[in-house]
Chains A and B, each alone.
Chain A
Amino acid sequence: MKHLISVLVENKFGTLNRVASMFSARGFNLESISIGETEDPEISRMTIVTKGEDRIISQVLKQLNRLIDTIKVTDLTHQPHVERELLLLSLKLGKSTQHEIFELANVFKGKVVDIKQKSITIEFVGSPEKINTAIDLFRPFGIRELARSGAVAIHRGES
């Protein structure tokens, strides 16, 4: 099954490479990986999406922990968390489809970030599942290009 892992790492040159090459060297699945600085500029947060049976995931977590540059590894999958992904979707624009595109974009709370005579780029934010659905539904209009950020995630706060 799919797992969402959050890793705090040293914000140092080569850290992303260490993590990514560990995944490939050990044959672990790596669906997406995203990285950015945290509130502490010496620490970055990586969000990793991977798939596997429990036995594999437990190895993934241990191998991540074993890397010297990882500070904290958390499997968020079964914990309360918020998960978001950004999609930039560029579509062909035609008289006949224009209206439907805007309507559908509205349903997904999309934001138009660029519009030209023959193309439109819309920004969507949501869970990866929602992003998948959006892509599926927009496909018939003709997707020119798309870019996804990969998931980022964080623990939900305490009440």
Chain B
Amino acid sequence: MHTNGQKLIGSEIFFECLRRENVEYIFGYPGGALLKVYEILHDVVDIKHILVRHEQGATHMAEGYSRATGRPGVVLVTSGPGATNTVTGITNAYMDSTPLVVFTGQVPSSLIGNDAFQEADIVGITRPITKHNFLVKDVRELASTIRKAFFLATNGRPGPVLVDMPKDVLNAECIFEWPESVEIRGFKPTIKCHSNQVQKAARLIADAKRPLFYIGGGVISAGASEELRKIAIDQQIPVTMTLQGLGAFPGDHPLSMGMLGMHGTFWSNQAVSHCDLLIAVGARFDDRVTGKVDTFATQAYKIHNDIDPTNVDKNIKVDLPVVGDSKDFLASLIEAMPKTKEDRSAWLAEIEEWRKQCPLDYDNEPDSLKTEFVIDEVSKQTEGHAVIVTDVGQHQMWTSQYYKFTEPRSIITSGGLGTMGFGLPSAIGAAFGVTDRPIVLFSGDGGLMMNIQELVTAVYNKLPVKIFLINNSYLGMVRQWQELFHKEKYSFTDLEASNPDFVRVAEAFGCKALSANNPESARNAITEALAYHEGPVLVDFRVIRKDMVFPMVPAGGSISDMLLARLNPKTMV
């Protein structure tokens, strides 16, 4: 611990700033530009550095940690290739609004621009994928820049911020001063919602016959689940959620409709198409949600609350925009609601009909294993209380359908960017942040291979991550589109001949491994894995290979027209 007014070098200032920001973990990887930083790190005891095996892994770990805990994730990588390896992870965090602070080493200031060894213009490269970024040119600006970086990452709409630190800055000396406050004149997010708008929203809700909440990840990052639960139950308003919004409202409550959109529930999409009032909170009308925009919620008056004004009227024109923090919005709305209550039973009964018409279900056969069963079983055994992490693909969509998320910060998944390889490292990050709930990863066999090297990190740190590999030996989601829309040309999606034996791979890393190929063995493997706490465990679930995720809205289609089953893909409702 250093004090203000002490003379320190840049590398010492770096750690002192992280200390002031209460950073617990750094996910990092050393290199030439960071040698001084790692020299100082050697004697730092209060901040834990986690050595990853690829810098992409570090960014996803930081994101998993952040999404599980609500705190910013911190990454430290060297210049050049270390920095460029973070690009996918930073973009992922940008698209899903996760607060990260990424520190990159840089070549000495005097060499910048000279194509020096391991030089990359990472500030230029990451300008469009960060909320903001900085190149620190003078050691006297290091502390204030780090302070600003954390402030920007975590305030307003969260997002990744990058700080590039040239080697000479990290070696140079100056008097350490931790700025007491931050003032960035170009950054003044609107937190408090305009009260006239809230009053108007309250009146509309009170009068609506068929209202529907459409909830996004903004409700989770704002910590507004309690408020949502209260108003939805009080007013008897059904709640549909985006992939990132799952868990904002308890999935086992009768008012929960599950997810909407491309692989959303039939009844959610029908409700969107028939509601008279759509209340979007912390959501951004993504194209995977809306389908064809001119047929989206055409009967509804639309209220839209979001902290980022650019989300308003971007994809869909709304009737009542309310810019501000979603917690403030919902809390003010609760205050503003009139005491009288509209009877919503007819609307809820109608939704119940849609639910019965096309429920989420699957057939189980004793000799073969379906992904739906595995997820359903994990949901039951963990009672919806696990932190669920997914990779990208069919297994991800089945997870959104069959896991009953009961609390916020329970799903960690790559939504906006759809990054394969996100799952394993982000599950590891989540396991550093959360130790009182099981951390369960559902990954595909394609995606697991994209960052398999991080298994080392899980094993070495004895993290009790449950790696549930949904192994169909296919790039399943692509295969599904090939079957449905591309003349069954299964071009480069069959991995059977090339996939490794995942059980042996895991064991070679020192990871416990199990396998299962029918409901019985799967149930037992899940029980055994959930009871194992000494380190990671991988279960290779050999699921049936050509299963498809339904219901589904074909790309560009209207969400009221869903494909319901494979046998007759023409079946539309």
Instruction: Please indicate whether A and B come from the same complex rather than being unrelated chains.
Output: yes
Q: Does B308 contact A (CB under 8 A)?
A: yes
Q: Does B186 contact A (CB under 8 A)?
A: yes
Check if B187 sits within 8 Å of A68, measured CB to CB.
yes
CB neighbours of A58 from chain B (8 A)? 313
Q: Does B123 contact A (CB under 8 A)?
A: yes
Complex Cα–Cα for A22 and B129 (A): 11
Most buried by A among B132, B187, B317: B187
Check if B184 sits within 8 Å of A68, measured CB to CB.
yes
Q: Does A159 contact B (CB under 8 A)?
A: no
B116-136 interface with A by 8 A CB criterion: 123-124, 127-128, 131-132, 135
Q: Does A70 contact B (CB under 8 A)?
A: yes
A13-52 interface with B by 8 A CB criterion: 13-14, 17-18, 21-22, 25
Contact flag A21-B128 (CB < 8 Å), given A66-B308, A67-B186, A68-B187:
yes
Check if B127 sits within 8 Å of A21, measured CB to CB.
yes
CB neighbours of B131 from chain A (8 A)? 68
CB neighbours of A9 from chain B (8 A)? 186
A62-85 interface with B by 8 A CB criterion: 62-63, 65-71
Check if B152 sits within 8 Å of A62, measured CB to CB.
no
Check if B186 sits within 8 Å of A14, measured CB to CB.
no
Show 13 A/B contacts (Cβ-Cβ < 8 Å), sorted by A. Answer: A9-B186, A10-B186, A14-B123, A14-B135, A55-B313, A58-B313, A59-B313, A59-B314, A65-B309, A66-B310, A67-B186, A69-B186, A71-B186
Q: Please name the residue on chain A nearest to B188 by beta carbon.
A: A65
Q: Please name the residue on chain A nearest to B189 by beta carbon.
A: A66
CB neighbours of A67 from chain B (8 A)? 186
Q: Does B356 contact A (CB under 8 A)?
A: no
Check if B313 sits within 8 Å of A71, measured CB to CB.
no
A92-126 interface with B by 8 A CB criterion: none
B277-336 interface with A by 8 A CB criterion: 308-310, 312-314, 317
B127: contacting residue among A10, A17, A66, CB under 8 A: A17
CB neighbours of A55 from chain B (8 A)? 313, 317
Contact flag A68-B132 (CB < 8 Å), given A17-B127, A21-B127:
yes
Q: Please name the residue on chain A nearest to B133 by beta carbon.
A: A14
Q: Please name the residue on chain B nearest to A66 by beta carbon.
A: B310
Complex Cα–Cα for A66 and B314 (A): 14
Complex Cα–Cα for A58 and B132 (A): 22
Q: Does B570 contact A (CB under 8 A)?
A: no
Q: Please name the residue on chain B nearest to A70 by beta carbon.
A: B186
Q: Please name the residue on chain A nearest to B137 by beta carbon.
A: A13
Q: Does B185 contact A (CB under 8 A)?
A: yes
Nearest chain B CB to A133's CB is how many angstroms away?
Answer: 37
Nearest chain B CB to A102's CB is how many angstroms away?
Answer: 47
CB neighbours of B124 from chain A (8 A)? 14, 17
Check if B187 sits within 8 Å of A25, measured CB to CB.
no
Q: Please name the residue on chain A nearest to B161 by beta carbon.
A: A68
Complex Cα–Cα for A68 and B184 (A): 8
Nearest chain A CB to B121's CB is how many angstroms away?
Answer: 10
CB neighbours of A62 from chain B (8 A)? 309-310, 312
CB neighbours of B135 from chain A (8 A)? 13-14
Check if A68 sits within 8 Å of B123, measured CB to CB.
no
Nearest chain B CB to A26's CB is how many angstroms away?
Answer: 9
CB neighbours of B185 from chain A (8 A)? 71
Check if B152 sits within 8 Å of A68, measured CB to CB.
yes
Residue-wise, chain B 236-251 has the 8 Å CB interface mask toward A (1 for contact) of: 0000000000000000
Complex Cα–Cα for A58 and B185 (A): 22
Not counting A18-B127, A71-B186, a sample of 11 additional A-B residue pairs whose C-beta atoms are within 8 angstroms of each other reads A9-B186, A14-B127, A58-B313, A62-B309, A62-B310, A65-B309, A66-B308, A67-B186, A68-B184, A68-B187, A70-B186
Nearest chain B CB to A71's CB is how many angstroms away?
Answer: 5
Nearest chain B CB to A54's CB is how many angstroms away?
Answer: 10
Nearest chain A CB to B132's CB is how many angstroms away?
Answer: 4
Most buried by A among B128, B135, B152, B185: B185
Most buried by B among A25, A55, A66: A66
CB neighbours of A22 from chain B (8 A)? 128
Residue-wise, chain B 164-193 has the 8 Å CB interface mask toward A (1 for contact) of: 000000000000000000001111000000
Check if B186 sits within 8 Å of A68, measured CB to CB.
yes
Check if A25 sits within 8 Å of B310, measured CB to CB.
no
A25: contacting residue among B123, B128, B184, CB under 8 A: B128
B514-545 interface with A by 8 A CB criterion: none
CB neighbours of A10 from chain B (8 A)? 186
Complex Cα–Cα for A14 and B112 (A): 15
CB neighbours of B132 from chain A (8 A)? 68-69
Q: Please name the residue on chain B nearest to A24 by beta carbon.
A: B128
Q: Please name the residue on chain A nearest to B323 by beta carbon.
A: A62
Complex Cα–Cα for A11 and B135 (A): 15
Nearest chain A CB to B109's CB is how many angstroms away?
Answer: 13
Complex Cα–Cα for A55 and B313 (A): 8
Complex Cα–Cα for A8 and B131 (A): 19
Nearest chain A CB to B509's CB is how many angstroms away?
Answer: 40
Complex Cα–Cα for A22 and B308 (A): 16
Nearest chain B CB to A7's CB is how many angstroms away?
Answer: 10
Complex Cα–Cα for A18 and B124 (A): 9
Nearest chain B CB to A75's CB is how many angstroms away?
Answer: 15
Check if A59 sits within 8 Å of B187, measured CB to CB.
no
Complex Cα–Cα for A55 and B318 (A): 12
Most buried by B among A9, A22, A68, A70: A68
CB neighbours of A71 from chain B (8 A)? 185-186
CB neighbours of B309 from chain A (8 A)? 62, 65-66
Q: Please name the residue on chain B nearest to A69 by beta carbon.
A: B186
Complex Cα–Cα for A8 and B308 (A): 21
CB neighbours of B310 from chain A (8 A)? 59, 62-63, 66
Q: Please name the residue on chain B nearest to A17 by beta carbon.
A: B127
CB neighbours of B312 from chain A (8 A)? 62
Complex Cα–Cα for A69 and B123 (A): 14
Nearest chain A CB to B45's CB is how many angstroms away?
Answer: 34
CB neighbours of B308 from chain A (8 A)? 66
Complex Cα–Cα for A15 and B314 (A): 24
CB neighbours of A68 from chain B (8 A)? 131-132, 152, 184, 186-187
CB neighbours of B187 from chain A (8 A)? 68
Complex Cα–Cα for A14 and B317 (A): 33
Nearest chain A CB to B470's CB is how many angstroms away?
Answer: 35
Most buried by B among A22, A55, A62: A62
Nearest chain B CB to A35's CB is how many angstroms away?
Answer: 15
